[in-house]
Amino acid sequence: MISLDDARARDAADPLAGMRAHFSLPESVIYLDGNSLGALPEATIAAQQDAVERQWGADLIRSWNSNDWIGAPQRIGAKIAPLIGAKPHEVIVTDSVSVNLFKLIVAATQIRPDRSQILTEPGNFPTDLYTAEGASGVLPDHVVHTEQAGDLADALGPETALMMLTHVHYKSGERHDMEGLTEAAHETGALTLWDLSHSVGAIPVDLNGCDVDLAVGCGYKYLNGGPGAPAFLYVREDLQDELRSPLSGWMGHAAPFEFRDDYEPALGVSRFLCGTPPILSLLALETGVALFTDIDMKDVAAKSAALFDLFAARVEERCGDHGLELITPRDAEHRGSHISFAHPDGWPISQALIERGVIGDFRAPDILRFGLTPLYLRFEDIWQAVEILGEILDSGIWREPRFAEKAAVT
């Protein structure tokens, strides 16, 4: 049996234990949804006040220069780069994941003009599939083709222009072999585009080491950038001046303040900027990313794995007779940083947990999903969360009608 004292002893020995103090977390809540929306960094509160009152309120439009608002997309991208194994000039913060996917899908397929297939997998995150479908609609004769994860390498062929995959699956938490699949794509002449939304800030990523062509990622999950934080995109340096964004907005121009009628893309990854950047959101993201400055991602990955192992073991010993099916791979090398269980009554159970102060989430049709955020989650939190889960399952309180109603957002 794993005791609460065992969990507390692990917290006492945790090299990341001090990071929790950098977040504003209510003591009444066990927050297990940082894989969907990261917690609020304490420093963000003061930084946003400064951004509003001094930079905007006092410095006004001068802040584009005096506070380097104009350089924020490149500056913050360079800070994200070490977390994904990229060079500083290969990453830029801009737009949303969906918009960045569209830009990169179209740009990539345009430099593979003799190929017509965008290869992905069924059950990929919906925005990836929807955006690929939308992009294929504006690309002559292009189609989106899906294959099950285990068949992707064999499905690559001379017609494949781009393989687009999410590194860590949003439901199951299963992690693709980025290096192996990228190599397989390159052997057939295809490009690769990886969505890092459930990877960045939670597990080590090495885009350069895996020779990845293109990538996108989310700013509001493990990077703690705030609701709707801007996303980022990565373009390998040797491809940057070959690719051209289909969204040729003024911020992606080589000389935006010359106001010329003709469009000339900027050099490097800056050509993938589009409109005027959302400065307040960018600065909130910058504060979240700054928390990783002195963090070794090996420590983050090790704690993520340990939190998972404790959660899985506690569920087995405390909730073993209640029909929870672990769907996340047990091997740490094959998963991200959340743990998911299938249960036919997952929705009402998730709502009963929230009422008790354990905030995870639910993904249709039957998945209970719990984010394991190493910077602020404690081993004690995991122990207590599973204890509450066990009490709910033992009591059957989740069967009450009030837990059956579904909200628009979960």
Is there a catalytic annotation at residue 195? yes
Catalytic residue (choose from 14, 33, 95, 195): 195
What's residue 388's pLDDT? 98
Tens of pLDDT, residues 126-153? 999 999 999 999 988 899 999 999 999 9
Catalytic residue (choose from 10, 103, 221, 236): 221
Catalytic residue (choose from 31, 102, 170, 220): 220
Tokens of 408: 């628009």
Is there a catalytic annotation at residue 125? yes
Confidence at 405, pLDDT banded by 50, 70, 90: confident
What's residue 406's pLDDT? 74
d(CA 14, CA 377): 11
Is there a catalytic annotation at residue 369? yes
Res. 284: pLDDT tops 60 = yes
d(CA 139, CA 204): 34
Tens of pLDDT, residues 209-258? 999 999 999 999 999 999 999 999 999 999 999 999 999 999 999 999 99
Read off the pTM.
0.97
Whose structure tokens read 């222009």?
A: 161
DSSP 223: T
Res. 173: pLDDT tops 60 = yes
DSSP 192: E
8 Å CB contact between 393 and 368: no
What's residue 404's pLDDT? 86
Res. 410: pLDDT tops 90 = no
Confidence at 65, pLDDT banded by 50, 70, 90: very high
Mean pLDDT of the chain, nearest integer = 97
Res. 409: pLDDT tops 60 = no
Res. 323: pLDDT tops 60 = yes
Tens of pLDDT, residues 5-50? 999 999 999 999 999 999 999 999 999 999 999 999 999 999 999 9
d(CA 238, CA 76): 21
φ, ψ for residue 254, nearest 5 deg: -65, -30
What's residue 18's pLDDT? 97
Is there a catalytic annotation at residue 309? no
8 Å CB contact between 295 and 304: no
Catalytic residue (choose from 102, 369, 370, 381): 369
Q: 3-class DSSP state for residue 364?
A: coil
Catalytic residue (choose from 59, 75, 125, 356): 125
Is there a catalytic annotation at residue 220? yes
Confidence at 158, pLDDT banded by 50, 70, 90: very high
Res. 80: pLDDT tops 70 = yes
Q: 3-class DSSP state for residue 234?
A: strand
Q: 3-class DSSP state for residue 371?
A: strand
What's residue 273's pLDDT? 98
